[in-house]
Amino acid sequence: MVAVIVGMHALLAQVKDPKAGKVLNKMSEKYRNMSGFRANFTYELVNKAYKMNEKSQGEITVKGSNFRLKIGGQEIINNGSTVWTFFKDANEVNIADYNPDPDAITPDKIYTMYKKGYKYLLLAEQDVEGVPVEIIDLEPEDRHNKINKIRLIIGKNDSYIKSWKIFENTGTVYTYRITNFTPNVPIEKDYFSFDKSKYPGVEVNDLRY
């Protein structure tokens, strides 16, 4: 078994697996054809060397390059040019220009990121909790990338992402699992902006230049 796994990762370092590409393209097309979506998820961060184990739950709404993320007492709202980060306990919001790192894995990129800078391999087809899935590993072409690999678990019947794991070279592993998914969810016109009138007494910190 160890030899098989080593061999598979050696293959991943060399090629873009056509079988994996077909699954990824089908998944990507499914998401791109949606008017938007909302998902509830669980999040876990683990680093055994530093004895770190953090767990949380969240909700994400995505439409195109816009997203609104609620997690861990924070709400992050991104309209593609401006990002608001609201801290619930402090009743405080920071406003900044949105300048994404091209290598960052943002909520709107998880279903397209494989198309540039990654090689991929279909590892297995199996049932997870009674649901048939396809497991795909992505590996950055840039060896200096802090990410070693990303493992996607995609529903075989519906092409939805069920979960993904991000493995960093620091030993940190991030796991996201979708617990509820709603495609083509109705989204209000101003949903991807921060309306301070809905947050009485909020302290606003404008960090834009």
3-17, 59-73, 78-92, 193-207: which range is least confident on average?
Answer: 3-17
Other residues' Cβ atoms within 10 Å of the Cβ of residue 57: 13
Q: How many Å apart are CA 149 and CA 140, to the nearest integer?
A: 7
Indicate the CATH number of 16-206 among 3.40.50.1110, 2.50.20.10, 2.120.10.30, 1.10.150.120.
Answer: 2.50.20.10
Q: How many Å apart are CA 153 and CA 123, to the nearest integer?
A: 10
Please state, in angstroms and as integers, the Cα–Cα distance from residue 73 to each residue in 56, 83, 206, following that order.
10, 16, 20
Percent of the chain whose pLDDT exceeds 70: 93
Which residue intervals of 53-140 are DSSP H helices? none
10-14, 42-46, 164-168, 185-189: which range is least confident on average?
Answer: 10-14
pLDDT of residue 157: 96
Annotated domain spans of the chain: 16-206
Query: Residue with structure tokens 């697996």?
Result: 17
Q: Read off the tokens for 49.
A: 């060397």
Residue 134 phi/psi, 5-degree rounding, is -120, 130
Query: Residue with structure tokens 């840039």?
Result: 142
Q: What are the tens digits of pLDDT across the range 16-69?
A: 899 999 999 999 999 999 999 999 999 999 999 999 999 999 999 999 889 999
3-state DSSP assignment of residue 84: strand
Check whether 179 has a pLDDT greater than 80. yes
Q: What are the tens digits of pLDDT across the range 96-145?
A: 999 887 777 887 788 999 999 999 999 999 998 899 999 999 999 988 88
pTM of the predicted model, to two decimals?
0.88
Please state, in angstroms and as integers, the Cα–Cα distance from residue 99 to each residue in 29, 117, 153, following that order.
26, 20, 29
Section 76-93 average pLDDT: 96
